[in-house]
Amino acid sequence: MARARRPPPSGASAELEALLGYPWPFAGRLPKHDPATWIVSDDWPEAVPVTEAEINVFERWFGDLYDDLPGPDT
């Protein structure tokens, strides 16, 4: 007996399959997720260190957006 073929994916699923080289979402039933059992924790330090290179990247990519934000010029 031949296996039934699944329909070809469309949209984002097709793009992911082409990118990954295997079907996404994976075949089969999706796992059940119960948000009531999720645990959210915040283990970040009070002050997160940022390098000069990281600041430069943000200024480069988002500089125009920052310029349009209201507030004092510094």
12-33, pLDDT tens digit by residue?
A: 777 777 888 877 666 666 667 7
Question: Does any domain span residue 55?
Answer: yes
Question: Does any domain span residue 17?
Answer: no
Indicate the average pLDDT of the chain. Answer: 79
Amino acid (one-letter) located at 6: R
- What confidence score (pLDDT) does residue 56 get? 93
Per the listing, tokens 């469309």 go with: 10
Expressed as residue numbers, the domain containing 61 is: 32-74
**Average pLDDT rounded to a whole number, residues 42-67:** 90
How many domains are contained in the chain?
1
pTM over 0.75: no
d(CA 7, CA 20): 18
- For residues 17 and 9, the answer to whether their CB atoms sit within 8 Å is yes
